[in-house]
Amino acid sequence: MRASWYDQFSDSPDALSSSRLERMVVPVLDLEIGGEDFITMAGPCSVESEFQLMATAIHVRRAGAKILRGGAFKPRSSPYAFQGHGLEGLRMLAHAREETGLAIVTEVMSEIDVPLVAEYADILQIGTRNMENYALLEAAARSGRPILLKRGMVATIADFLRSAQIILDCGNPNVLLCERGIRTFETALRNTFDAAAIALLKQISHLPVIGDPSHAAGHRELVPALARISIAAGADGIIVEVHPNPDKAWSDGEQSLDFAGFDTMMHELKPWLALRDQAGASEPEQMEAAR
């Protein structure tokens, strides 16, 4: 990494690549995020019912997902929108893990809720609105659970890394950086997907990077393309929203894939993942593969 990057991001030293820090591989159950495998996290925006969640969990697992996402506590733009089932949603997520073996990632919104959510979840998600909620970051870090840190919707890369540094300072090395799109002057999409940020983070940081094509696009028909872009930019995985019937979803239905759409996306990602694996192989392995 060039010296100017160290100068530019000098207040986040433990989040940066260096000779003293190996590339971070985050263990989650029997998974390793940031290693050789590309990890797909998939599931509904909100946990609505046992049937909805279990049907989704079984399907995404069969299609290749390794982690189930689902919101038990939901930060919503409108106070009248569904805010999540809370504890009952966490219990449904835990039951889905028991039945499918999928790890669980879910959002925690308050430092008060960290012990409760950490009891049920394998990964704690810090949402875009809370990226700079330092009290929450510190409490989540002290839980010992891996943290999926989403980039703030108006955050610079420096802002993003400073929040990661807060978690690292609290003694928790298991941080996943998530690029979920930022707000720009463009209004056609929900957010602007900053693929360059993924490429940059893979250059300057030793932490795994996850792409979120669902929140970046805001429209389900664009999610597969942005998932492919995530791979091309060097992401270690993606997190996507999937629902049995997106048009009936209680939240984020417009950007959620149905089961057939998720299957198609996962199939179309295979050649991109093959290219990724080939690029990451050693020179002798590449020569052998070319024969």
Q: Does residue 16 sit within a domain?
A: no
Total length of the chain? 291
Q: 23 Cβ partners below 8 Å, 6+ apart?
A: 17, 34, 206
Residue 5 lies in a domain: no
Q: What is the DSSP track for 75-104?
A: --SSTTS----THHHHHHHHHHHHHH--EE
Predicted structure pTM score: 0.93
Domain assignment of residue 236, given as a range = 23-275
- Our measurement of the distance from residue 84's CA atom to the centroid of its chain's CA atoms, rounded to an integer in Å, reads 19
Residue 284 covered by a domain: no
Residue 11 lies in a domain: no
Predicted confidence pLDDT, tens digits, the chain (291 residues): 677 888 899 999 999 998 778 899 999 999 999 999 999 999 999 999 999 999 999 999 999 999 999 999 866 555 555 566 889 999 999 999 999 999 999 999 999 999 999 999 999 999 999 999 999 999 999 999 999 999 999 999 999 999 999 999 999 999 999 999 999 999 899 999 999 999 999 999 999 999 999 999 999 999 999 999 999 999 999 999 999 999 999 989 999 999 999 999 999 999 999 999 888 765 445 444 444
Structural contact between residues 55 and 173, judged by C-beta atoms closer than 8 angstroms: no
User: Is residue 281 assigned to a domain?
Assistant: no
Instruction: Decide: 189 and 219 in contact? Cβ < 8 Å.
Output: yes
Residue with tokens 């809720």: 113
Query: Residue 176's domain is classified under what CATH number?
Result: 3.20.20.70
Question: Is-contact 60 264, C-beta < 8 A?
Answer: no
Answer whether residue 285 is part of any domain.
no
Tally the domains of the chain. 1
Separation between Cα atoms, residue 213 and residue 3, nearest integer Å: 31
